[in-house]
Amino acid sequence: MRESLHRIYVLAKRNVKEIMRDPLSLIFTLGMPLAMEILFYFLFHGMTAQFDMKYLAPGIVVFSQAFLSLFAGLLIAQDRSSAFLTRLYVSRARSHEFIFGYALSLLPLVAVQSVLFFVVGGIIDPSIWSVGVLWCVLLSLVTALFYVGMGILLGSLCTEKSIGGIASIVIAGQSLLSGMWFPPEGLNGAILTIMRCLPFKNATELMQRALVGFTNATDFFVPFAVVLGYTVVVIGGAIYAFARKMQAK
């Protein structure tokens, strides 16, 4: 157990360095969402509720997490396409240790995303400061796990060349099916049902409700259960796919 935890730590440390030394990953996970938060607030604030900072900041946090699926996937696909992972497979590390090594390496970035977007949001609109911000930061770890798990799954299945296109579907899904840019209640019933069944809207609503305050237990449990369910399925699938690829090597 101790040896296993040590290997997960060593793998995560290496992955953190790989990610932090890629300027593109920092631009897309931090720079661009931050610019959107500031720009969209000042351009559209007051037009619809989505651009009030209490809804925009948590929405941006989840949106920025969608890019983690791209960068986690890219890192794994690159490791797979080179012989680097093959070398590591000869070590005593197991497939679940690789998965946790990849997942844990992104959690510091998740924490930075949450803190950065809420601090900037709070500077622009101080009314968002409440205990809800702490809830949001905690829950962002859960929503992030879904996107990181999705990245690991895609990275295990896709090639280095195809991962960009496939992961952009996840990012587009988060953008278009989360209701973060427009009021989803205006859409027809079928689309709204699909949005409710997918994790994107649930992840965004979970964070938004955490910030403004849950009005009842259902407000919390329904989106939380949907996101958690998808996360468990995606991470389970990622471990299976990764282990299959290891064996195929």
Partner 1 sequence: MNAIDIRSLRKEYKDLVAVKDLTLTIEEGELFSLLGVNGAGKTTSIKMLTTLTRPTSGDALIYGNSITTHPEAVKGLVDVSMQETAVARKLTVEENIDFYADLNGLTQEEKSMAKGEIYEAFGLAEVKDQRASTLSGGWQRKLSIALALVTRPKVLFLDEPTLGLDVLARRDLWRLISGLKGKMTIILTTHYMEEAEALSDRIGIMDKGSLRFVGTKEELYAASGKTSVEDAFIEMVSGGKKNA
Nearer residue to partner 1 within complex by CB, 82 or 159? 82
Nearer residue to partner 1 within complex by CB, 97 or 205? 97
Nearer residue to partner 1 within complex by CB, 72 or 227? 72
Residues that bind partner 1 (CB under 8 A): 3, 6-7, 10-11, 13-14, 17-18, 21-22, 82-84, 86-93, 247-249
Least separation in angstroms between residue 18's CB and partner 1 is 5
Least separation in angstroms between residue 26's CB and partner 1 is 13
Nearer residue to partner 1 within complex by CB, 16 or 116? 16
Nearer residue to partner 1 within complex by CB, 41 or 98? 98
Nearer residue to partner 1 within complex by CB, 82 or 193? 82
Q: Is residue 177 within 8 Å of 194, Cβ to Cβ?
A: yes
Q: Cα–Cα distance between 117 and 121 in angstroms, integer?
A: 6
Least separation in angstroms between residue 73's CB and partner 1 is 17
Q: Is residue 202 within 8 Å of 223, Cβ to Cβ?
A: yes
Least separation in angstroms between residue 147's CB and partner 1 is 22
Nearest 5 degrees, angle CA 107-CA 110-CA 112? 115
Least separation in angstroms between residue 22's CB and partner 1 is 7
Question: Residue 48 forms beta bridges with which residues?
Answer: 45
Nearer residue to partner 1 within complex by CB, 7 or 54? 7
Q: Cα–Cα distance between 235 and 248 in angstroms, integer?
A: 20
Q: How many CB atoms lie within 10 A of CB 87?
A: 10
Q: Which of 218, 185, 217 is nearest to 201 (CA)?
A: 185
Q: Cα–Cα distance between 236 and 239 in angstroms, integer?
A: 5
Least separation in angstroms between residue 25's CB and partner 1 is 11
Q: How many CB atoms lie within 10 A of CB 113?
A: 26
Least separation in angstroms between residue 44's CB and partner 1 is 38
Q: Is residue 197 within 8 Å of 166, Cβ to Cβ?
A: no
Q: Is residue 178 within 8 Å of 201, Cβ to Cβ?
A: yes
Distances (CA, A) of 126 to 40, 43, 133: 17, 18, 12
